[in-house]
Structure formats: structure tokens, C-alpha cells
Amino acid sequence: MKHELVKIIIVGGGLSGITLAHQLEEKKIDFRIIDEGINHSTKVAAGMINPMTFRRMIKTWKGDELIPTLKEFYPAIEKKIKHKFFFQRKLRRAFNSEHERDLWMERLEENEYDDYLNPPEDKKNTPSHLKAPFGNGFLSTPGYVDAKKFMQYNHDYFIEKGLLEYGKFDFSELDPSSKTYKNEEFSHLIFCEGYKGEDNPYFGYLPFSNAKGEVLTVNSDVFDKNEILNKKCFILPTENGDFKLGATYAWYTQDTSPTEEAKKELLENYNLLSSAPIEVIDHEAGIRPAVADRRPLIGEHPTHKGLYIFNGLGSKGYMIAPYCAIEFVDFLMGKGEIDQEADIQRFYKKHFNKQ
Ligand SMILES: Cc1cc2nc3c(=O)[nH]c(=O)nc-3n(C[C@H](O)[C@H](O)[C@H](O)COP(=O)(O)OP(=O)(O)OC[C@H]3O[C@@H](n4cnc5c(N)ncnc54)[C@H](O)[C@@H]3O)c2cc1C
């Protein structure tokens, strides 16, 4: 073990900070969370668990490990905090083109996709409002995490235990050489700041490529409440009875306000998916903490020992976070390594040395 795990401060109480905190608690390691109380990703997300990248019709990074892990992790948290936020859904993909349907058929022949893809649906079982001239098929997915419930219940849980306090982390009060924050000693300071990580004076050298995303909440009495629909955009039925329509991507901005362009884009994409009338009841925007190579950012600062980052969860954070939190805590306990593809050491030569 590099440093004794005696006192951990987590900066950021979004998905990354929350999953990390639960894993530390599981291992009986002391921690506290400081969160600014403003969240622009975890809370806005649709929380969909989608183990496929349809564009190339391949499984997402580490899909075979991430899915079984999250299927245990989230229910275990639900049991602990006595609140439900993880719900089952089926995902129906309407194929974009003949080529996409052919790729789906090819993958069906490969054993490693047995747990994911199902044969295309019969036309007679396809909802009449769905625009699917090239057919459609079901992807087996565990469902979705209700993002607002997830944030609220977990914050309530940690606040009640006295482990979460609201406030902005003040970098002028941090002394990395004596490992103190506001004169209080810590053994590990772990930054889980989401897209704000790019402004972090210690980790801002990492090549963040954050992606703004916008989602609409819509009403409809046509959609099946158990089915996520997906093509160009998605319609996700929530437990409240409404539906999330998402999501857009825009880079190089920290502006978290919803825009008319994104709303227009979402509605145009929706028109390619379904003919069912919808009523827009809400519009939200957030920023995904992402990296150009689409891998997380995990590890210790190259020179300021004791400072760590757990970030870069990208557009599939709800899928990635449980696995990475478990692996990271094992690493902190001296029981394993951080996956090389997620370890920030991959940027040492190209980005840190150039500072
Ligand atoms: C529109 C949209 C749709 C999405 N849909 C999905 C989806 O369907 N499925 C999926 O898996 N993922 C989805 N995501 C991605 C997912 O939301 C992210 O991967 C994940 O929430 C990132 O969590 P985080 O904790 O790293 O960041 P955040 O959620 O941004 O949390 C960071 C926290 O750090 C705090 N903080 C920052 N700086 C400081 C400071 N100096 N002091 C104190 N606190 C600080 C903030 O207050 C915040 O609460 C979506 C994201 C968006 C924007």
C-alpha cells in the first residue's frame, strides 16, 4: 500500500464520488465528501445502460465485465440505503439502414453477442408508430438508473451519516506537501469533479474533451412503459410515467443552459424514430466529463503524492462507474492495479511533461 488509508476526502458528490464512497464504506475505510451542491451531469443523465455501440455494432469497452458488476452493485446500494433507483427496461433498436441490420445479423452468429442481441422482431410485433423500415430488434440490457432518484437518495444517505457536506472545495486552503486541507490532515484527496476537472490546478493538464448533452422530458400515452426505443435518439420510459428524449453532443463549452438548437435537433431526430405525438414538459442540459480516447481518468498525481483523480466517465458513466470504483479502491488498498487504459499514466509523457 502506497499511503495508509486513514482519512480520505472526496471532492465531488456526483456518480463518481457516490460510487467511490459506497465502495470505501464497503471496505470500512473512512472518508468524507465535499460537494458544491450544483450538479450538471449525474442528475441530468438518462441513466440508460446500453452495452452496445450501434454505430459500429460492437460491445462497448469492457461490456462483459461492467454489466455483471453493475447488476450486483446498484441493487446492493439500493438494499443498503433502502431506496429503489435501478429499474428494468428492454431496449428496442430500430435499424438505421440495411447495412446496420446486416451487421446485427452478423453479430447474432457470434457467440460473444449471445447475451446481448436478439433476432429481429416480426413486423407484426412492431409498434405501428415506430419508424423502422429496416426492421428492429431487442438488445438485452439491465435497464436504467433513475438519475434524480439516485442523486437524491444517495445524498440523503451520506448527509444523514454526516459524511457529505455542501460547499465548494477551496484550492487556496490545500497544501499538498503537508497533505492538509484547511489545516486538517488527509491521507488521500480524491477529485471526482466531473467536467470541472478540466479547471483543477493539479489535474487540469489531462486532455479532457467534455461533451455537453441535452435531454427533453416528454409525455405520451402511446409508448410502451417497459421499452426504451432507440434510433438517432432514444425514448426512455421513467418510473414517473414520463419519458426522456435524448441526447445531444456538443464540445468545447462549459455553458450548462439548454438551447433551442438542441431541442430542435432532438425533435428532428425523434421524427425519424416515431410518429407518436409527444408533449415536451421539460428541457435540461449537462456536461459529460469525457476524454478523447473515451476511457476514464483514474490515478495518482505524478508528483503530488496523495492527490488522486477519479473522473472521465463519459457518456456511459452509469455503466462504467461501479466497475471502476471497485478496481480503484482495490488499488488504493494495494490489492491490484488500475486498468492501463483508464490509468492517467497514459498521458504522462505527452501531457504532464509538457506543462
Ligand atoms: C445529457 C446527458 C445524458 C446522459 N445520459 C447518460 C446515460 O443515459 N447513461 C449513462 O451511463 N451516462 C449518461 N450520461 C453521463 C453521466 O451522467 C456521467 O458519466 C456521470 O454522471 C459523470 O459523473 P461525475 O460524478 O464524474 O460528474 P458530475 O455528475 O458532474 O459530478 C461532479 C460533482 O462534483 C462537484 N464539484 C465539482 N467541482 C467541485 C468543487 N471545486 N468543490 C466541490 N464540489 C465540486 C459538483 O458539484 C458535482 O456534483 C449523461 C450525461 C448527460 C450530460
For every residue of 67-134, DSSP letters joined together read HHHHHHHHHHHHHHHT---EE--EEEEEPSSHHHHHHHHHHHTSGGGTTTB-PPPPGGGS-TTB--TT
Distance 3 CA to ligand 1 centre (A): 28
Domains 8-43+148-207+292-352 and 90-139+211-288 share a fold: no
- Evaluate the CA torsion angle 63, 69, 72, 75 in order and state its sign: negative
Average pLDDT value over all residues in the chain: 95
Distance 35 CA to ligand 1 centre (A): 12
Q: What is the ipTM of this complex?
A: 0.99
Is the model's pLDDT at 351 over the cut of 90? no
Is the model's pLDDT at 354 over the cut of 90? no
Among 33, 42, 67, name the best residue to mutate to test ligand 1's pocket (greatest count of ligand atoms within 8 A of Cβ).
42
Distance CA 203, CA 308 (A): 9
- Please report the pLDDT score of residue 39 as a whole number: 85
Q: Whose CA is nearest to atom 10 of ligand 1?
A: 316
Is the model's pLDDT at 25 over the cut of 50? yes
Distance CA 141, CA 132 (A): 20
Which amino acid, 68? P
Say if CB 215 and CB 247 are below 8 A apart. Answer: yes
Is the model's pLDDT at 2 over the cut of 70? no
Which positions ≥6 away from 82 have C-beta within 8 Å? none
Distance CA 320, CA 28 (A): 23
Among 235, 288, 295, 319, name the best residue to mutate to test ligand 1's pocket (greatest count of ligand atoms within 8 A of Cβ).
288
In degrees, to the nearest 5, what angle opens at C-alpha 89 toward C-alphas 86 and 260? 90
Distance 114 CA to ligand 1 centre (A): 32
- Please report the pLDDT score of residue 1 as a whole number: 44
- In words, the CATH class of domain 90-139+211-288 is alpha beta
- Please report the pLDDT score of residue 5 as a whole number: 64
- Evaluate the CA torsion angle 285, 72, 228, 293 in order and state its sign: positive
Q: Which residues pair with 231 in a beta bridge?
A: 233
- Please report the pLDDT score of residue 30 as a whole number: 95
CA max distance for the chain: 69
Half-sphere exposure of 178 (CA within 13 A, CB side): 9
Q: Whose CA is nearest to atom 7 of ligand 1?
A: 47
Distance CA 95, CA 92 (A): 9
Which residue ranges make up each domain of the chain? 8-43+148-207+292-352, 90-139+211-288
When the candidates are 3.30.70.360, 3.40.605.10, 3.50.50.60, 3.10.580.10, the CATH number that belongs to 8-43+148-207+292-352 is 3.50.50.60
Classify residue 97 as exposed, middle or buried by CB count within 10 Å of its CB (0-12, 13-18, 19+).
Answer: exposed
What's the pLDDT tens digit per position in 211-264? 999 999 999 999 999 999 999 999 999 999 999 999 999 999 999 999 999 999
- Please report the pLDDT score of residue 273 as a whole number: 98
Distance 305 CA to ligand 1 centre (A): 25
- Output DSSP code: residue 276: S
Closest to 218 (Cα-Cα) out of 244, 237, 247: 244
Distance 40 CA to ligand 1 centre (A): 6
How much is the average pLDDT of 290-310?
Answer: 96
Say if CB 319 and CB 66 are below 8 A apart. Answer: yes
What's the pLDDT tens digit per position in 134-164? 999 999 988 999 999 999 999 999 999 999 9
Helix (H) or strand (E) holding 239: none
What's the pLDDT tens digit per position in 171-216? 999 999 999 999 999 999 999 999 999 999 999 999 999 999 999 9
What's the pLDDT tens digit per position in 62-111? 999 999 999 999 999 999 999 999 999 999 999 999 999 999 999 999 99
Residues with CB under 6 A from ligand 1: 11-17, 34-36, 38-42, 44-48, 168-169, 192-196, 213-215, 246-247, 286-289, 311, 313-319
- Please report the pLDDT score of residue 231 as a whole number: 97
The number of the ligand 1 atom at minimal distance from the alpha carbon of 200 is 41
Distance 64 CA to ligand 1 centre (A): 24
Among 44, 193, 195, 212, name the best residue to mutate to test ligand 1's pocket (greatest count of ligand atoms within 8 A of Cβ).
193
- Output DSSP code: residue 60: P
